[in-house]
Amino acid sequence: MEKKLLTLGHSPDPDDAFMFYGLNIENGVDTNGYEFEQILKDIQTLNEMAIEEKLDITAISLAAYPTISDKYAILSSGASMGYKYGPLIVAKEKFELEELKKKLIAIPGKLTSAYLELRLLLGKDLTVEVIPFDKIFDAVLNGDVDAGLIIHEGQLTYSNYKLEKIVDLGVWWYEKTKLPLPLGVNAIHRKFGEEMKNISNILRESILFSLNHREEAVKYALNFARGMDKNLADKFVGMYVNELTVDMGENGLKACRLLLKEAYDKGLIDKLPEIDLV
């Protein structure tokens, strides 16, 4: 029987690679007649591709969901969120948080959750420059910007660049809400209707497979690790592939809804969509 081809977008990062390890090896996860073509792009590009409806399933920033909520639904599995850690603002020297409002800040994209969360913290009128996430350290070090909003593995490697942490958005959010900080979620196009649940189950099984075959899955994920050894990659995977990734559950859903509501109330997003998890 011919397999049904689905496009699956995700970031070229260790945590996303780890999640989908079970889809990339023989005798991994039973794909139930589907074949997944994996499209690896940075999160800002994936957000833009979802807006253009170019992907069947994709990682997106939660911040981008209001723009595509009529076309895509969020999967209960595959979310990137954690308690008391998240994107960081770093700079060459320490300064007070209030000073950030007057600084030029490099951000990885205007549709990213990290940027939305930074504006929730500091207000909407920030001076920013969009720079690819893996070039932000260089921009800060070269003095092209005053500070950088760091996502992905940079949250663990920033000290290698002798940079100072100004604020951890995950800590700020936890102190404020006692909830995990939502970043990325997996979304599926609504055109699949009843099939969405079957596809969702396959992807959840892949996450569980990787967690149950952690050593091999981390080894595979190392192919996507920038400047990380096995131990650091394993730590990073542990941060963003956890029980909330298998199923975001009540706390994860509550955090997503609260983040979007606060953003809507402050005029940072134009509409407040209901989140109907698959």
278: in domain: no
Residue 104 sits in the same domain as residue 151: yes
Query: How does pLDDT run across 153-171, given as a tens digit for each residue?
Result: 767 777 788 899 999 999 9
**Packing angle of the helix pair 249-265, 169-177 (nearest 10 deg):** 100
Residue 117 sits in the same domain as residue 228: no
Average pLDDT over residues 51-59: 97
Average pLDDT over residues 63-81: 95
Query: How does pLDDT run across 145-155, given as a tens digit for each residue?
Result: 999 998 877 67
Average pLDDT over residues 33-56: 93
Q: Is the dihedral of CA 87, 138, 42, 225 positive or negative?
A: negative
Q: Evaluate whether 185 touches 68 at the Cβ level (below 8 Å).
A: no
Residue 75 sits in the same domain as residue 199: yes
Residue 226, pLDDT above cutoff 80: no
261: in domain: yes
Q: What is the CATH number of the domain that holds 258?
A: 3.40.190.10
Residue 165 sits in the same domain as residue 188: no
Residue 12 sits in the same domain as residue 70: yes
Residue 55, pLDDT above cutoff 90: yes
Query: How does pLDDT run across 15-31, given as a tens digit for each residue?
Result: 888 999 999 877 789 99
Residue 206, pLDDT above cutoff 70: yes
Average pLDDT over residues 112-136: 93
Residue 187 sits in the same domain as residue 236: yes
Question: Which among 16, 101, 11 has a CA at the least distance from the CA of 49?
Answer: 11
Query: How does pLDDT run across 245-256, given as a tens digit for each residue?
Result: 999 999 999 999
274: in domain: no
Residue 172 sits in the same domain as residue 186: no
Domains: count for the chain: 2
How do strand 147-150 and strand 104-107 relate by DSSP bridges? parallel
- From the candidates 10, 152, 189, 213, give the one annotated as an active-site residue: 152
Residue 70 sits in the same domain as residue 201: yes
Range of the domain at 258: 4-80+181-265
Residue 202 sits in the same domain as residue 257: yes
124: in domain: yes
Mean pLDDT of the chain, nearest integer: 91
pLDDT at 235: 86
> Catalytic: 213?
no
Residue where a domain stops, chosen among 125, 143, 177? 177
pLDDT at 188: 97
pLDDT at 66: 96
Residue 75 sits in the same domain as residue 115: no
CA distances from 247 to 24, 42, 56, 79, 207 (A): 21, 23, 20, 8, 10
Residue 75 sits in the same domain as residue 137: no
Residue 163 sits in the same domain as residue 195: no
pLDDT at 39: 94
Average pLDDT over residues 123-130: 93
H/E stretch holding 89:
strand 88-91
